């Protein structure tokens, strides 16, 4: 775990009912920024992908936030978010609602040649 990284287990669970479980997976260099690259969070039913990304950027520390969003909170172009194995485009994150148990993967694009 790198300096300044946070433990995903310290993310508070949602308090309103009903809550749904979201299994989060961080891939690539993002996985080295936290103590565990796979963890679960509980969110209120009806939360959006944008809500979860916002919560994670607040709770997982400055380095994680800087790695995935810009100063305005917009997702960097090199970061992909997937919900239940489907890509969620940045313009869809605020409209994509979590209604039940879900898998959320955040990964950096890999390039080279």
Residue 103 lies in a domain: yes
pLDDT of residue 89: 95
From CA 50, how far away is CA 91, in angstroms rounded?
A: 10
pLDDT at 3 over 50: no
Full residue range of the structural domain in which residue 99 is found: 13-107
pLDDT of residue 73: 86
pLDDT at 7 over 90: no
Which residue has 């979201």 as its token pair?
A: 22
Residue 22 lies in a domain: yes
Residue 21 lies in a domain: yes
89: left (phi over 0), alpha (psi -120 to 50) or beta: beta
Q: Are 52 and 41 in contact (CB under 8 A)?
A: yes
Residue 3 lies in a domain: no
pLDDT at 70 over 60: yes
What are the tens digits of pLDDT across the range 31-58? Answer: 999 899 999 999 999 999 999 999 999 9
What are the tens digits of pLDDT across the range 87-111? Answer: 999 999 999 999 899 999 999 987 7
What share of the chain in percent tops pLDDT 90?
Answer: 72
Q: What total of structural domains would you count in the chain?
A: 1
Residue 79 lies in a domain: yes
Residue 113 lies in a domain: no
pLDDT of residue 17: 57
Contacts of 84 (CB under 8 A, 6+ apart): 102, 103
Residue 80 lies in a domain: yes
Q: Tell me, what CATH number does 91's domain have?
A: 3.10.20.30
Residue 14: which pLDDT band, with cuts at 50, 70 and 90? very low
From CA 3, how far away is CA 105, in angstroms rounded?
A: 23
Residue 5 lies in a domain: no
């Amino acid at each position: 775990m790198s300096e300044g990284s946070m433990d995903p287990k310290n993310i508070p669970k949602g308090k309103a009912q009903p809550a749904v479980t979201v299994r989060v997976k961080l891939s690539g260099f993002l996985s080295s920024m936290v103590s565990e690259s796979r963890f679960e969070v509980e969110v209120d039913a009806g939360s959006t992908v944008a809500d979860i990304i916002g919560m994670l950027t607040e709770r997982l520390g400055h380095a994680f936030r800087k790695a995935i969003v810009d100063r305005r909170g917009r997702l960097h172009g090199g970061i992909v978010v997937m919900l239940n194995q489907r890509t969620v485009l940045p313009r869809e994150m605020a409209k994509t609602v979590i209604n039940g148990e879900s898998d959320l993967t955040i990964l950096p694009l890999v390039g080279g040649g």
